[in-house]
Chain A
Amino acid sequence: MAEKLLDWNEVLIGATIKDPGNSRSYETGSWRVERPVWNPDECIQCMFCWVYCPDSSILVDENGKMTGIDYDHCKGCGICVEQCPKKSKALTMLLEADAKGKSEEEIRKEAFSK
């Protein structure tokens, strides 16, 4: 976690949080076993993945277009891959172990060659 772990006499009374939205600093991406891999060449921008993602981990630009995946928070549930229309195959799952130490390009190749 990015935030400082406070002592018992430093925490805010009643476990109140004064900076709403600080769940962003809690990086749930570390829980992931498999990761979704995105292929922009096949993506039809239907935004089904964005609608269904339970962790708001589909990254979108100011024009509402998908630009990638927020791996700091994506828990690897695979819902986006389930929702991705089958013909386009713009999203697929890959074991984190197989992605380790590889570049984005290599990961994409590995994921979509299967």
Chain B
Amino acid sequence: MGKKVALTGNEAAAHAIRQINPDVVAAFPITPSTPIPQNIAQYIADGKMDTELVTVESEHSAMSACIGAAAGGGRVMTATSANGYALMWEMLYIASGARLPIVMAVAARALSGPLNIHGDHSDIMGGRDSGWIELVAENSQEAYDNLIQAVKIAENKDVMTPALGAFDGFNISHSIEIWEMEDDDKVREFVGEYEPLFPLLKTEEPVTHGAWAPPDWYFEHRMSQLKGLLNAKDVVVNVGKEFGKAFGREYGIYEAYKMDDADYVIVAMGSVCGTTKDVVDSLRDNGVKAGLLKLRLFRPFPYKELADVLSGAKAIAVLDRVSPAGAQGGPLFNEIRSALYDANNRPPVINYSYGLGGRDTQPVHINSVYDTLKKIVETGKVEKQFDCLNLRGAWG
């Protein structure tokens, strides 16, 4: 039987990795994910796992070592944040292009500058097109559960694509919450044995990884890679069901919180969803039909499923924990709006940036979003398509 524990999100991730007991972890410390490799080193020293921990000199080297170990045929995991993730950038594409199912925990953090070590989604949103599967957790329980499922999703033969399990830096990574840790043997049984497709170390069947693909080959390989990533969507659903059967917590590609008859809907990812659920509950107590669509799978982006579940709303606000960086809005906003373009009912969609660099987002801010949505439905007018939550000075 699993047990209830009171530990941080980083410890949840570290325990998931300990229980998965991968062949190799290559990692470099960076706030706020540092406690993950730190705890792994401790578990190895204490004889609680037998993973080969490669202490490299940078995140570029961390991902490079992960790629080498995965090409060799090992089950490989790592952890990082922010600028460390950014330093991996080049190698992220090589991991996904080589179809190596590496699993990475990301304590999501703001990118400098100005220098900031706190939570937001600048890292994982910046790398959203690197070909990795991206799962985002609301709390420590999900951070733990997602990493265990990510192994099975990434290693699925129809997928064979690296996956990251993200959770908000500090909000989750450093907050102690009560969550359920499953038994070691149950977790190992769930993830099963990894059978690599083309391990370099199987010398009786020699293969080449990382060869060049000229213009008459590259395009076909990229589209073959895309198919693997897209296949992940159904696998995420299936593995989420299997996980539910094994441990009693079922997962899908999103969580529809009081969405059935919701008129006013917030779409968000990560820890802000906890705050939003509280606000939805109190609005419902007052007869306001509020709902939350919490997205769990950002890549591959499940645009059809999202359009179906959102097209019944009267007004939608998408919360992005990044700056739009010169686009019409944040990445989640743009993709949700694009998904709704083909829907029969196209409700107005507005966008907020929130929580940048660890800025607090409180119920009062989420309440203001629902107030704005109500006003849009009452007046039929969108005054501001993009706005900011808890920013000093009116944006515009």
A interface residues (Cβ-Cβ under 8 A, vs B): 1, 5-11, 13-18, 20, 23
Contact = CB atoms under 8 A, between A and B. Distances in A.
Nearest 6 interchain pairs by C-beta? A14-B99, A17-B208, A8-B223, A8-B220, A14-B98, A15-B221
A16 B216 contact: no
A11 B217 contact: yes
What does DSSP make chain A's interface, helix, strand, loop or mixed?
Answer: loop
A97 B155 CA distance: 54
Contacts of B219: 8
B198 interface: yes
A10 B197 CA distance: 16
B228 A13 contact: yes
B359 interface: no
Nearest to B210: A15
Contact of B198 (A5, A10, A16, A23): A16
A16 B216 CA distance: 16
B132 to A, nearest CB: 14
Contacts of A1: 216
B100 interface: yes
Contacts, number: 58
Interface string B76-105: 000000000000000000000111100000
Contacts of B221: 8, 11, 15
Contacts of A23: 211
A5 B208 contact: no
A6 B213 CA distance: 12
A11 B198 contact: no
A27 B59 CA distance: 38
Given A6-B220, A7-B220, A8-B219, A13 B197 contact: yes
B216 A9 contact: no
28 contacts: A1-B216, A5-B216, A5-B217, A7-B220, A8-B219, A8-B221, A8-B223, A9-B224, A9-B227, A11-B217, A11-B220, A11-B224, A13-B160, A13-B197, A13-B224, A13-B228, A14-B98, A14-B100, A14-B209, A15-B211, A16-B98, A16-B198, A16-B207, A16-B209, A17-B207, A17-B211, A18-B198, A23-B211
B206 interface: yes
B388 to A, nearest CB: 42
Contacts of B98: 14-16
A9 B221 CA distance: 9
Contact of A20 (B207, B224, B227): B207
A31 to B, nearest CB: 12
Given A9-B227, A20-B208, A14 B97 contact: yes
Contacts of B224: 8-9, 11, 13
B160 A15 contact: no
Task: Identify which of A5, A8, A9 gathers the most chain B CB atoms within 10 Å of its CB.
Answer: A8
Interface string B178-213: 000000000000000000011000000111111101
Nearest to A6: B220
A107 to B, nearest CB: 30
Given A1-B216, A15-B97, A17-B211, 20 more contacts: A7-B220, A8-B219, A9-B227, A11-B217, A11-B220, A13-B99, A13-B198, A14-B97, A14-B98, A14-B99, A14-B100, A14-B209, A15-B209, A15-B217, A16-B197, A16-B208, A16-B209, A17-B207, A17-B208, A20-B207
